[in-house]
């Protein structure tokens, strides 16, 4: 198979067709699930074992999750900085209004 495939569960065959999930009935791989091009079964169309695809999918999700965790921490830091800025602004406004009242 000389197709460029991303990791994980294949949603689409390079031909543009959606994939389907089927179960192997061969002697070599009885009961093993696989993804296949939903239109054409053959060369240049997608074939991928589901167990391998799922392992890749989980690995890709783990990477995504740690990226999201890092982004959440960055946002939390930003919010803390903004809270400090707001506290300062409130103090300045309070000081100014005290001066104005005098
Ligand atoms: Zn196809």
Q: What is the pLDDT of residues 15-31, one digit of tens each?
A: 999 999 999 999 999 99
CB 36 within 8 A of CB 19: yes
Rounded distance from Cα 65 to ligand 1 centre (Å)? 31
Rounded distance from Cα 58 to ligand 1 centre (Å)? 24
Rounded distance from Cα 99 to ligand 1 centre (Å)? 76
Rounded distance from Cα 13 to ligand 1 centre (Å)? 5
The 19-23 sheet, strands edge to edge:
19-23, 33-37, 47-49
User: Does 82 score more than 80 pLDDT?
Assistant: yes
Q: What percent of the chain has pLDDT over 90?
A: 90
Terminal-to-terminal C-alpha distance of the chain: 83
Which residues have beta carbons under 5 A from ligand 1 (an ion)? Answer: 13, 15, 17, 37, 40, 45
């Amino acid at each position: 198979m000389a197709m460029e495939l991303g990791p994980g569960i294949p949603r689409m065959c390079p031909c543009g067709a959606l994939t389907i999930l089927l179960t192997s009935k061969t002697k070599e791989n009885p009961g093993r699930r696989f993804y296949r091009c939903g239109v054409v079964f053959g060369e240049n169309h997608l074939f991928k074992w589901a167990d391998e695809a799922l392992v890749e999918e989980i690995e890709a999700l783990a990477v995504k999750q740690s990226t999201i965790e890092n982004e959440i921490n960055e946002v939390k830091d930003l919010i803390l900085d903004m809270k400090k800025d707001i506290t300062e602004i409130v103090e300045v406004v309070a000081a100014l209004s005290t001066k104005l009242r005098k």
